[in-house]
Amino acid sequence: MNPSENEVEGASLPHGIAVDEAAAYFGVTDSADIIMHLNQTDPINGMGEFFSIAIDLVMQPEFGFEEAANRLGCEGGEIYYLLTGPFALVALSDPLRMYLGGEDSEGNTGVHPGLPEHEMSSLEQLTDIFSLLKMFGLGHLIGGLPLLAHYVSQYTRLVAASDANKAILL
């Protein structure tokens, strides 16, 4: 990419995290120390640190980006960056989204499996970033990092073979 393509009038892109011009334009101009730290750690430990700060917000019916951002001392967009980047919550569900005929995080589209609508709806819930955040947060709340790691690994294993594990996923 040409460096001039990264310049947006009135905004500067932060160093160390990947944000687009729109994020920079709307105020993400420097990255908070905690975001830099969580960006450099492995996803399990990073999620564990995040949950230790914001588990009560994660478990609410609607996740509060701004309140979480205030606690972490960062911008709301940086919270979304953590969830989709370092924590990889979107990429984790790629195999299941592809199985359901949806689009994965790289833009690849799967073939609709022809499942009944009620099964499709149930399985699609397991691709929602906030459902995953709650499920993994619950694991961390109950059993700390070991159970969080177990939940993540089991989810990853199950969705890797979504068709074979459909009954378990449902």
pLDDT at 30 over 50: yes
Instruction: For the beta carbon of residue 102, count every other beta carbon within 10 angstroms.
Output: 17
Rounded to an integer, the average pLDDT of 36-49 is 90
Asked if residue 77 belongs to a domain, the reply is yes
Asked if residue 123 belongs to a domain, the reply is yes
Asked if residue 56 belongs to a domain, the reply is yes
Domain count, the chain: 1
Please report the pLDDT score of residue 33 as a whole number.
Answer: 79
Asked if residue 74 belongs to a domain, the reply is yes
Q: Which residue has the higher pLDDT, 87 or 77?
A: 87
For 139, the token pair is 């694991």
In which domain, by residue range, is 146 found?
20-169
Please report the pLDDT score of residue 159 as a whole number.
Answer: 97
Tell me the Cα Rg of the chain: 17
Please report the pLDDT score of residue 76 as a whole number.
Answer: 81
Contact 24, 81 (CB under 8 A): no
- In angstroms, rounded to a whole number, what is the distance separating the alpha carbons of residues 24 and 11? 6
pLDDT at 108 over 50: yes
pLDDT at 133 over 90: yes
Q: Report the mean per-residue pLDDT for the chain.
A: 85
